[in-house]
Amino acid sequence: MTTEKRKNPQRFSPVEDKVYTNAGGGKYLCQIARENSFDAWMQNTASGWTLLAHGIVRYEDGTIEWDYSTGGHFEEIRKDPDATDAAIIHHRQMSLANAMLCYLI
């Protein structure tokens, strides 16, 4: 990765249900985010690795990264041929809701 891609990092609040490209090249689905927070539950769309990203920043080229993560674990990426994308995302959010509640407590 060139340093050109990593200019002007700005703290960033991701939007739920949106996929972002990590500065390292991976794609991450934002599963759970709080408004005006720089922390969010993110899931790698290829592997299912799910983590709570802390201190998210976005660069000029639109890529993101974070200061550190906690709670990393693999989660099944469900591919139900009859389910809509919204249903799959809802299932993922519901399965992480308990984890987020534990984080907030």
Instruction: List Cα–Cα distances, 30 to 20, 39, 50, 82, in angstroms.
Output: 8, 10, 10, 23
User: What distance in Å separates the CA atoms of residue 69 and residue 26, rounded to the nearest whole number?
Assistant: 15
Please write the tens of the pLDDT for every residue from 66-90: 999 999 999 987 655 454 555 445 5
Domain layout of the chain by residue ranges: 3-104
pTM: 0.70
Please write the tens of the pLDDT for every residue from 19-69: 999 999 999 999 999 889 999 999 999 999 999 999 999 999 999 999 999
Residues in the chain: 105
